[in-house]
Amino acid sequence: MTIQEKILLELDKRGTLSSLELANEWDIDHQLVVGALKSLQSLGDIITCEQISETFYELTNEGKQVLADGSHEFRVYSLVSDTGISQRELLGTFPNAKIGLNKALAAKWVTMKKTDTGETMVHRLATNVEDTLQGDLMSVVNDKSSGGIPESMKNELKKRKLITEMKRTRYLIEKGPAFSLEIGKEETDVSSDMIANGAWSTARFKPYNFKALGSSLPSGHLHPLLRVRSEFAKILADMGFSEMPTNNYVECGFWNFDSLFQPQQHPARDAHDTFFISGKCNYVVCVCVFTGGMTSSRSLKQS
């Protein structure tokens, strides 16, 4: 039997359920119950769930130790015999003996006296004591919602770092308008067979999600040559080069060839239409360094 089916059976018996109580009863993780509830909610109005956020308290490691062995002050009181015990011996009995001794002194359970030899002895002062701290921790463990714990008790336990505040979310489960013990499959389309046999009138259809996004169409791919060109352009740009304007369909041959140190008879020049036009002489003077050299450069020695 699945968790969903178990939830429906328990809901039919009780009428109202708590997701946290179900997880504790079945000894499973609470998230498994939450996942089953989400699955049932997706089937329609079978169940209704109300989310409840609440605060609870858990015992710290020290709190668990106190719950098992008793409070530090009670342990100190129990170790003090009728004839007393030396302070040095008492503090070596367990790690938190010093804390327990201070608490026992404040509660007037024990007292300390010095002997003639200068040794400090611890003696009982109270005849009968009750370990209320251990009982308070037991109340925290038994109270699942922390609503029955007095505020003064919580503050004292938090001050002594015996409990820690936690937050959790649980769900209150009730029957929905379309409650049923059977989990049927929701139909997505009306078929011709359903119309012929009348099954469409009792079938449960899955509602459409009109806010869902459509699948991406496989279009808009780059041409392989343009993709390679963009990859090389990015590599050169990352190296520090800057890309010249690419919208100039007519460009000076100096920039296309000579500045790239391509010889005049290079085959790459044949791939472009080159037009020789008359121009100003000062333009030639500005670029003559390419052929004749300047500032100790050898140039390409081209004519």
Look at residue 16 and give its three-state secondary structure. Answer: strand
Look at residue 7 and give its three-state secondary structure. Answer: helix
Backbone angles phi, psi at 184, to 5 degrees: -95, 160
**pTM score:** 0.50
State both tokens at 68. 């098992």
Cβ-count burial of 178 within 10 angstroms (0-12 exposed, 13-18 middle, 19+ buried)?
Answer: exposed
State both tokens at 242. 């800057």
- Spell out the per-residue pLDDT of the chain, length 303, in tens: 789 889 999 998 898 999 988 998 999 999 999 999 998 888 778 889 999 988 888 899 999 999 999 999 999 999 998 888 999 999 999 989 999 999 999 999 999 998 888 889 999 988 888 998 998 899 888 876 566 778 888 888 999 999 998 888 899 999 988 888 877 777 788 889 989 998 888 777 777 888 888 888 877 788 999 899 999 999 999 999 888 777 766 677 777 777 778 887 888 778 777 777 676 666 666 656 555 555 565 555 544
CATH no., domain 72-130? 1.10.10.2330
State both tokens at 139. 């109340």
Question: What are 167's strand-pairing partners?
Answer: 55
Residues of the chain with CATH 1.10.10.2330: 72-130
